[in-house]
Structure 1
Amino acid sequence: MTEGNFVDYVKIHVFSGKGGKGSAHLHREKYIAKGGPDGGDGGRGGHVIIKGNKNLWTLFHLKFKRHVKAEHGGDGGKQRSTGADGSDEYIDVPLGTVIRDSETNEIIKEITEDGQEFIIAEGGMGGRGNWHFKSSTNQTPRYAQPGIEGQQKDITLELKVLADVGLVGFPNAGKSTLLSVITAAKPKIADYEFTTLKPNLGIVKYRDYKTFVIADIPGIIEGAAEGKGLGHRFLRHIERNSTLLFLIPADAPDIKEQYEILLDELRRYNPELMDKDRLIAISKSDLLDAELKEELASELDQELKLPYIFISSVAQTGLTDLKDKLWEMLNKQPV
């Protein structure tokens, strides 16, 4: 999937179908000059339904589909014939999609399972035919109900990437390089900040044909929780990751300070992110000789209260240990 095809935010106007009109028909037949009312009911208008689809990874297919309209119900006919229901209109979305009301910004529903359906706009009920209104005092009612109007809504669809591990780090920390080495993903890699503008997903192949999914989230800057940089556009993708992998380069001026800044941005955005498992990977460790690495490890042991691991995506060192540790964290038994 190319970066331009990754769409994680769309706004759509949905219309459900109007119910069909009830019929005011009076029965007419040879030798029966004045039959009673036999007008049928109108059909239900079509629903607009949002459906989870595990084969989709993006909202790109909805990028240019700004209006979704379901079919109107058919009108009732003679001999109590009910009109046809309007056909429902389905909007397929990837798992992890959040549906919001565009006016109030309130969350209406989250789609997390394949095949899960949610009626976002109900079709109008069909009107009742005139035979419903026959009574002892009104033998031949010549009126029927009109169909009920369908619903209209402005909705916003937001995709929160479903991945086991989320890569967190400053721009140009080497996240895309790591993803390209341990998975088959082909993210854009370059020597400047914000190379990655959209989340990239990769499947890590582990021992015995086991796999887990890792997401390269666009780099964090200070103030991201207030929307600076790419702001909320990427922070929401971290919410669904069960484990957070903090990537900090070995040549950073202060590794502990960088970790604290990253952690603070996540805390300010959503305090619940603090409950997730965390691991620190010191990237670009091929720049360190054995003595420097030992000295740095001694400092980190005193300053950090989290497990850390030295890796190099370019030299491909420490990657097996990294995968082992991540797999252990993802599959640990709850206490």
Structure 2
Amino acid sequence: MVRCGGAVLRKYGNFIDDLRLYVRGGTGGMGYPRLGGEGGRGGDVWFVAQERTTLKSIRERYPQKRFVAGAGANSSVKALKGEKGKDCEVHVPLGISVLCDDGRQIGELNAAGERFLAARGGLGGSLATNFVPCKGQRRIVHLDLKLIADVGLVGFPNAGKSSLLSKISHAKPEIANYAFTTVQPELGKIMYADYKQIPVADLPGLIEGAHANKGMGHKFLKHVERTKQLLLVELELYKEELLTKPALLAINKMDLPCAKDNLNELMKQLQNPQDFLHLLQDEMIPANTLEFKDIIPISTYTGEGIEELKACIRKSIDEEAEQENEEYRKKKLQLLQTSGEQMNRS
């Protein structure tokens, strides 16, 4: 942290959400021309999603950021079919998109145990290759992390997101009375009496123009893409489809003087947003105004509204899950009906 002219400036934290790696499959083994022996195929490089893994830990453990699989065994008199080379497995965090060096997405890992073939091993030498082995696939890839959480807290600096996260979950984020206290995403879980847990992500404060990548901009806005529910501002300009996510609005700091007057004014603006859009700069006016499922006044200082907010979050998540289950049941029924019709025709 650096102080400059009375202001507090914070450098970007140790959180890493993008890592560039070199991956190479193993070279195949030599064939055995005299006896028609075939060399073993080279090993593959796999990315495997694992909980409690971070991109920072990968960088620290493998500073060269190079992952090469083992070579296939040569064919010999004792073993005409050479053994396959040893695979190289790289444990990566959940919520990883795998990108080519040109930015094209080639894979995604969202659940523990999911695997992605990053580089295939080369074929062993055989009659088809004149018994000469092939080299393994090699390329540069980017691991792009987007946090997975049911609820994403998004808002302007010093709006009280970290305080809210500490109130509704067991997380212990850094809290202070200046902007940009949060310089990396914080994850917590809301715990309910029936033991249900809802993951929540507190994302760093936005500045005006974050949609245009000002400040930390897209560095953190991308993390809201995989959340199911949002408490948000200024998202349409970043990615319009984010407005389709169910959204809750928490009005914080209700313990401050004039808070109720400000709340009444805000409610008027939310009820008739078109009457107030002229107050915004032209480039900030959204094409579509956001509708909130619930608006909850809260105070992270006094605890006002916290239990109500937790209940609203739970209700919204459960409704979303029920809707997804219903859509799944309908699709499954359609598939069964289609299969039955095809069998009848045949």
TM-score interval w.r.t. the shorter chain? 0.7 to 0.9
> Quick one: distance in 1 between partners of 2:263 and 2:74?
81
Q: Secondary structure at the match of 1:63?
A: helix
**Residue 227 of structure 1, aligned match among 200, 209, 213:** 213
- Which amino acid in structure 1 is aligned with residue 58 of structure 2? L
TM-score by length of 1: 0.80
Higher relative contact order (CA 8 A, sep 6+): 1
> Quick one: distance in 1 between partners of 2:270 and 2:79?
82
1:63 aligns with 2:90: no
- Which amino acid in structure 2 is aligned with residue 58 of structure 1? T
The residue number in structure 1 matching 2:282 is none
The residue number in structure 2 matching 1:214 is 200
Contact 2:13–2:183 (Cα < 8 Å) also in 1: no
> Quick one: distance in 2 between partners of 1:202 and 1:77?
57
Gaps in structure 2 of 5+ consecutive residues: 1-11, 274-290, 327-346
- Identity fraction in percent: 39
The residue number in structure 1 matching 2:9 is none
Contact 1:10–1:156 (Cα < 8 Å) also in 2: yes
Could you tell me how far 1:174 is from its partner in structure 2? 0.7
Could you tell me how far 1:291 is from its partner in structure 2? 6.0
1:280 aligns with 2:249: yes
Q: Secondary structure at the match of 2:200?
A: strand
Q: Secondary structure at the match of 2:41?
A: coil
Contact 1:45–1:73 (Cα < 8 Å) also in 2: yes
Q: Secondary structure at the match of 1:324?
A: helix
Change beyond 3 A, Cα 1:297–1:106? closer
* Aligned counterparts, 1:80-159, within 5 A: 81-102=80-101, 104-128=102-126, 132=127, 144-159=130-145
Contact 2:170–2:189 (Cα < 8 Å) also in 1: yes
**Residue 309 of structure 1, aligned match among 278, 283, 296:** 296
The residue number in structure 1 matching 2:188 is 202
Contact 2:28–2:136 (Cα < 8 Å) also in 1: yes
**Residue 269 of structure 1, aligned match among 225, 238, 241:** 238
The residue number in structure 2 matching 1:7 is 16
- Which amino acid in structure 1 is aligned with residue 118 of structure 2? I
Q: How many residues of Structure 1 are paired with residues of Structure 2 in the alignment?
A: 290
Q: Give the structure with the higher percent helix.
A: 2
Could you tell me how far 1:269 is from its partner in structure 2? 1.6
CA offset digits 1:37-64 (Å, max 9, x no partner): 32521111110111111x2253122224
The residue number in structure 2 matching 1:32 is none
Could you tell me how far 1:4 is from its partner in structure 2? 5.1
> Quick one: distance in 2 between partners of 1:71 and 1:85?
8
Q: Secondary structure at the match of 2:194?
A: helix
Give 1 or 2 for the bigger CA radius of gyration. 1
Contact 1:39–1:80 (Cα < 8 Å) also in 2: no
The residue number in structure 2 matching 1:18 is 27
CA offset digits 1:222-251 (Å, max 9, x no partner): 2212211101110110000111013xxxxx
Could you tell me how far 1:297 is from its partner in structure 2? 6.9
- Which amino acid in structure 2 is aligned with residue 51 of structure 1? V
Q: Secondary structure at the match of 1:286?
A: coil
> Quick one: distance in 1 between partners of 2:89 and 2:71?
15
Change beyond 3 A, Cα 1:61–1:182? same
Could you tell me how far 1:268 is from its partner in structure 2? 2.0
- Which amino acid in structure 2 is aligned with residue 69 of structure 1? V
The residue number in structure 2 matching 1:173 is 159
